[in-house]
Amino acid sequence: MTEPILKDPRELYHPEKFKKQDQDTPALQTEMSPNPDCGEESYVGHHKLENRRVLITGGDSGIGRAAAIAYAREGADIALQFFPGEEKDAREVAKYIKEANRKVILLPYDLRDEEAPAKMVEQTVKELGGLDTLVLNAAQQISQPGIGKIPIQQVKDTFMVNIISMFSLVQAAEPHLPAGGAIITTTSVQAFNPSSHLTDYAATKAAIANFTVNLARQFAEKGIRVNGVAPGPIWTPLQLDQGQPQDAIPEFGQNSLLGRAGQPAELAPIYVFLASNDASFVTAQIYGITGGEAINL
């Protein structure tokens, strides 16, 4: 009898502690140790997103990078937004997309710019010939020891990047999105169990969860599904760019039920599922990929 292929989730990827490290803004995935696994070598497509036209924000690294690689291998063309200065990571993702024989356009836009969302959508529609799927993933996360230490400009920037840009992107994209299209947001376990050193970030993630469910109700009559993903501790450049207290990096993710941080590659299948026709009866949902921590809306 053939034995089942079983893998102990506690021992996958990088179960050990991380070395102490940080980076200046913008942090690059290519300079992390260990390098996050975004499915570059492991993700295999099954034609679930043939000829989709997808705009992904924050697609140069981490979760957005994993989604971009998976989407391309599933047959989608990709418009990849990234923060200016992250070109090195973005070009690397573009290489993987081209190797999958899919089209990619790079969108170096700062989402703090009010005009950026409309420009991004316009360029995507023009160069990809349309737009049917949005993956709203970009985020700013800056750790501060308490609310009294958070500059108000940081609060404004965090809200602008994390949630206000989502409103603008959806408004710009709505006229182009067809029935059967999908919107996937990235919220966080922080929306449900916030850390005291991430007050502004957690507040935006709670807003994204609410936004997702509200938007699903509005778009259902158009035949467009809207869902969100709530990651837990995932090893991405966001953590090294002031996203965690520096002394916390070695222990990052070690207190999850599975005893380790997650890798972006472990989220890619859920982003694919939520965009695909397999999720035809799924909308207004938040999927937790947290290593065991509960989420509750």
Domains annotated for the chain, with CATH where assigned, are 45-289 (3.40.50.720)
Q: Which of 64, 19, 15, 20 is nearest to 38 (CA)?
A: 64
For residue 231, give the H/E element and its range.
strand 225-231
- Residue positions counted in the chain: 297
For 104-116, write each residue's pLDDT tens digit: 999 999 999 999 9
Q: What is the pLDDT of residue 89?
A: 95
Q: How confident is the model at residue 241 (pLDDT cuts 50, 70, 90)?
A: confident
Q: What is the pLDDT of residue 296?
A: 78
Q: How confident is the model at residue 246 (pLDDT cuts 50, 70, 90)?
A: confident
Catalytic choice (43, 109, 201, 287):
201
Q: What is the pLDDT of residue 290?
A: 96
54 forms beta bridges with 78, 133
Burial tier of 210 (Cβ tally within 10 Å: 0-12, 13-18, 19+): middle
Token pair, residue 130, equals 């349309």
CB 266 within 8 A of CB 288: no
Q: What is the pLDDT of residue 210?
A: 97
Q: Residue range 40-57: average pLDDT?
A: 97
- Res 30 pLDDT > 70: yes
pTM summary value: 0.96
Catalytic residue list contains 271: no
Q: Give me the chain's average pLDDT, please.
A: 96
Q: Residue range 252-271: average pLDDT?
A: 96
DSSP output for 159-180: HIIIIIHHHHHHHHHGGGPPTT
53-56 β-sheet, strand order = 104-108, 77-82, 53-56, 133-136, 182-186, 225-231, 286-289
Q: How confident is the model at residue 36 (pLDDT cuts 50, 70, 90)?
A: very high
Sign of dihedral through CA atoms 20, 143, 83, 48? Answer: positive
Q: Residue range 251-279: average pLDDT?
A: 97
Q: Residue range 174-203: average pLDDT?
A: 97
For 145-154, write each residue's pLDDT tens digit: 999 999 999 9
Please give the Cα distance from 141 to 154 (Å, whole number): 10
Q: What is the pLDDT of residue 297?
A: 54
Q: How many CB atoms lie within 10 A of CB 130?
A: 15
